[in-house]
Structures are given as C-alpha cells and as structure tokens.
Chain A
Amino acid sequence: MKWLELLSVAGATLVAAVSVVVLYALGVRLTAIAGDVQGSPAAWIRPLSYVCFGFCGLAVLFGLWLIVPYFHH
C-alpha cells in the first residue's frame, strides 16, 4: 500500500490550497478596505492587495506548469 504517497498527497493539497485561499482572502479583504468610503484608508492597501492576487496568479501558473507535460518531461 502506498501510504506514504497518500500522506504526501494530503499534505501537498493542504499546503497548496490553504496558502492560495489565505492569500486570495487577504487580497479580497484589502480590496474591501481600500474601497471603504468613510475613514480614508492608507495608500499602501490597494497595492498590497494586488501583491496578494499576484501571488495567487503565480500559483495558477505553477498549476499550469504541472498540468502541461511538455514543461517537465
């Protein structure tokens, strides 16, 4: 039985999904703060949200790299 493989699949899934979701959720939250009308939000908030989304974009690109066999065969 391939218990080790199973465990590594579970671990990788957890790490990947949690980091993407945390980053994206932070991005969503920062966008929401930056869009608040009352209480002028700090200027760095919106760029920071773009950074969060940018990392998510990188994760998607890494996913593409994994999917397309051409890149790693």
Chain B
Amino acid sequence: MVALVILLALFFDFTNGFHDTANAMATPIATGAIKPKTAVALAAVLNLVGAFLSTEVAKTVSGGIIKEGSDGVQITPDIIFAGLMGAILWNMITWLKGLPSSSSHALFGGLIGAAIAGIGIHSINFESILQKVILPAVFAPIIAGGVAYLCTRLAYALTSRHDPETGDKLTQKRGGFRNGQVFTSSLVALAHGTNDAQKTMGIITLVLISAGTQPAGSGPQWWVITACALAIAIGTYAGGWRIIRTMGSGLTEVKPAQGFAAETSTASAILASSHLGFALSTTQVASGSVIGSGMGCRGTTVRWGTAGRIAVGWLFTLPAAGIVGALTALLVQTGVIGVVIAAVVGTAAVAYMFVHSRKSPVGHDNAVQIEEVGQAVQFPKKKKSAGKAVKNGGAKR
C-alpha cells in the first residue's frame, strides 16, 4: 500500500506539473515572446530548481481541512490513496476539457471525500474548507483580475503614442513588453516549483512516517525530493497544451502589453499570498489575471463562455474529486481486492482519457496560433489579423 501511494503521489505531481504549465507560460507563448517548446523547457527547469530550493514540508497532509493530528483522526495511507485517486482523475478530466483548475483544491476535494467515506463526517473541519478553498476561489480571480485590469489600462495609457500636432497614432512600439514577459513568467514557474512539488514531498514523507520507515518529524529523504522534483519537471515539460490553448487564446487574445500586465499581476499575487498568510491558488490567480487583462485592453473581447466553463469547473472541483475519493475509500476498505480494483479502474480511466485525447491531439505546434506581429506593423493590419484569429478560435470550439 505504501509503495502504491508513493507511485500515485508521484503521478499526481506529474499531472500537477502539466496542469500548471499554462499558468506561467500560456501568455508568453501566445504573444510569441518565447517559442512554445522553449517555454515549457524553461518552465520545467525552473520547476525542477524550485523543487530543490524548498524542501521544508508541511506537518499535515490536508493543512487542517481534515481534523488530523494527535487529538484528531488518523489519516491512513488508505485515505491518502483514495484522495490522490480523486485528485488525479479530476486533473485528467479537466485537462481533457482544457480547463485550468487548481490541483491543490482537487487534492483537498479527494481527501475530504475519502475522509468522509472512510472515517466519517466529523473528521472534516468545515470552517477550514471555507477559508482555504471557497474564499480563495472567490477572491483569487477578483484580486488578480482587478489588478491585471488596472495594470493593462496603465500599460496601454503610458505607451500610447500620438502625434502632438495632427493627433494621428504613431507607431506604438510595444514589442518591448515581450522581453519583460520572459522574466515575470519565469518567476511564476519558479514559485510554482517551490510550492507544489513540496506538497507531494509532504504526502510521501507523512506516508513513510506512518509506515514506520522514517522517524516522526523528520524531513523528506533525498530520493523523495529528487523523485518529486523530476515528476513535476517532466509533467511541466509534457505541457498541458490543451490548457495552454485555453489560457493563451481561449479566454482572450493576448498581446504583449496585456501578457506582461497579466503575468506581473500573477507573480505579485502569488508571492504576496505565500508570504502574507492567505493562500491563493496559482491557477485561479493566473486565470483571473488573463481575464482582467483582456477586459483592460480596448478592442479585445473576453470570451465569457469559456470563462464560465472554467468557473463551473472550479465549482465542481471539490465535489467531483470528493466523490471519486469517497468511492475509492469505500472500495479500499473492503480489503486487498478492493485496492486492486481501485488501482486497475483508476489506471484504466487515466489510460482511456489519454487515448481519447489522441483523437484530437493538441501539441506545441497547434496549441496557440501565435500572432506574429512585429514592432513595425501598423495598427489597422493588426486589428484585422486579430479578428481573423477570433473567427478561427470560434470555429474550433
């Protein structure tokens, strides 16, 4: 069981990686600031480095959502197994649909479901759910979106150039924002590595402690750190191209100034949230930033249909992962056969979704239609090509 949980945890780390590539790299890919393959490679390296930078793992699996610890319930490897199953399946489904959704919220959902089914409803701390899952999900996009909106307006206002005598528009020369995007999105990728790989390290370490192979209170072993870092880096490199498509061109057409404003807001929000004691999900922050920057740019439309689908996805994250977690927990309780069935069904479901995804592959070559607008291109032409891209994007869906 311990080995199975470790394997599953590493696979969760992998899905976490490819689910979240889009947060950092969707906008620079969309504006052509970095080539798609280079972007995911950069994100992968930064995630790898980030994972090694921060190895101080949490003391609890669920961060207080389940009343665990000395005076609470004991979270067994069985519960963690079931919770991971729920989180992984939800990550796979949302990836297949191209929806950015928070991996940590999926994990919380899976664990909550597993704990309710395996231990009982008294094991859940509902106030903690409100504070750690529901409120952040509401406020992350609002904060990030509002800031990104303001930043985009400012960026455009400060760089709009008119001829002082005739009032004609001069060449705007906003290409410089592309260089900036490289730095801001790299910060997001690095921050992601330090935050998210650590979660899996924590789970594996706690499982090892509960199995008695490691003294309580000790940090993660070197092979755990290495395996987690590699899993998240490989996942990032695999690149969730479907989600990159949604974030890069599905929500709105991202132009360099917008992309820079969005990434700066994302990076600021993530760093602020991880240091001022109110955790926000990277995915929700990044999605909010992209929408906000789309609203802030005149002549750009935000596709609210796509935004709505993402919001619905967030609503379902907890219950859906929870139901899978609960079912798995019930199966696992029946004994060894149940564990085998759960493992086989889970693997089959993941394999089915992967095969299904091959029917309409989305890769680095077709994830985002990059608008190659050079600095010298005049405005009328730019507008026309943007309109065309909208039509193409609309036809695809």
How many angstroms between the C-alpha atoms of A57 and B151 in the bound complex?
18
* Interface-central residue, B50, B172, B278, by most chain A CB under 10 Å: B278
Which A residues lie within 8 Å of B54 (CB)? 68-69
Say whether A66 contacts B271, CB under 8 Å: yes
Name B147's contact: one of A17, A22, A31 (CB within 8 Å).
Answer: A17
Q: Is A1 an interface residue (CB 8 A)?
A: yes
* Interface-central residue, A9, A20, A29, A68, by most chain B CB under 10 Å: A9
How many angstroms between the C-alpha atoms of A30 and B272 in the bound complex?
30
How many angstroms between the C-alpha atoms of A45 and B171 in the bound complex?
18
Which A residues lie within 8 Å of B267 (CB)? 17, 63
Say whether A13 contacts B278, CB under 8 Å: no
How many angstroms between the C-alpha atoms of A35 and B170 in the bound complex?
12
Which A residues lie within 8 Å of B171 (CB)? 32
Q: Is B194 an interface residue (CB 8 A)?
A: yes
Binds A, one of B70-78, B174-182, B353-361: B174-182
Say whether A13 contacts B260, CB under 8 Å: no
Binds A, one of B2-10, B88-96, B153-161, B200-208: B153-161
Say whether A21 contacts B260, CB under 8 Å: yes
Say whether B276 contacts A18, CB under 8 Å: no
Say whether B194 contacts A69, CB under 8 Å: yes
Question: Number of contact residues on B: which range applies?
Answer: 35 or more
Q: Is the interface of A mostly helix, strand, loop or mixed?
A: helix
Say whether B176 contacts A21, CB under 8 Å: no
Interface size, chain A (Cβ < 8 Å): 36
Say whether A12 contacts B276, CB under 8 Å: yes
How many angstroms between the C-alpha atoms of A21 and B289 in the bound complex?
13
Which A residues lie within 8 Å of B305 (CB)? none
Q: Is B148 an interface residue (CB 8 A)?
A: yes
How many whole Å from B340's CB to the nearest CB in chain A?
40
Which B residues lie within 8 Å of A17 (CB)? 147-148, 151, 261, 264-265, 267-269
Say whether A63 contacts B180, CB under 8 Å: no
Say whether A24 contacts B143, CB under 8 Å: no
Q: Is B191 an interface residue (CB 8 A)?
A: yes
Say whether A67 contacts B53, CB under 8 Å: yes
Which A residues lie within 8 Å of B264 (CB)? 17, 20-21, 24
* Interface-central residue, A8, A32, A35, by most chain B CB under 10 Å: A32
How many whole Å from B344's CB to the nearest CB in chain A?
40
Interface mask (A30-68 → B, CB under 8 Å = 1, otherwise 0): 011001000000000000000000001100100110111
How many angstroms between the C-alpha atoms of A20 and B280 in the bound complex?
21
Which B residues lie within 8 Å of A9 (CB)? 143, 269, 272-273, 276-278, 280
Say whether A5 contacts B173, CB under 8 Å: no
Which A residues lie within 8 Å of B154 (CB)? 18, 21-22, 25
* Interface-central residue, B148, B159, B161, B268, by most chain A CB under 10 Å: B268
Say whether B272 contacts A13, CB under 8 Å: yes
How many whole Å from B189's CB to the nearest CB in chain A?
10
Say whether B50 contacts A10, CB under 8 Å: no
Chain A interface residues (CB < 8 Å from chain B):
1-2, 5-6, 8-10, 12-14, 16-18, 20-22, 24-29, 31-32, 35, 56-57, 60, 63-64, 66-70, 73
Q: List 24 A-B pairs, Cβ < 8 Å.
A: A1-B135, A6-B278, A8-B278, A9-B143, A9-B278, A13-B144, A13-B273, A17-B148, A21-B151, A21-B155, A24-B177, A26-B158, A27-B176, A28-B158, A28-B174, A31-B176, A32-B171, A32-B173, A60-B184, A64-B190, A66-B271, A67-B187, A67-B271, A68-B194
- Having A1-B135, A66-B274, one finds 4 other A-B pairs with CB under 8 Å, namely A1-B130, A1-B131, A32-B173, A64-B190
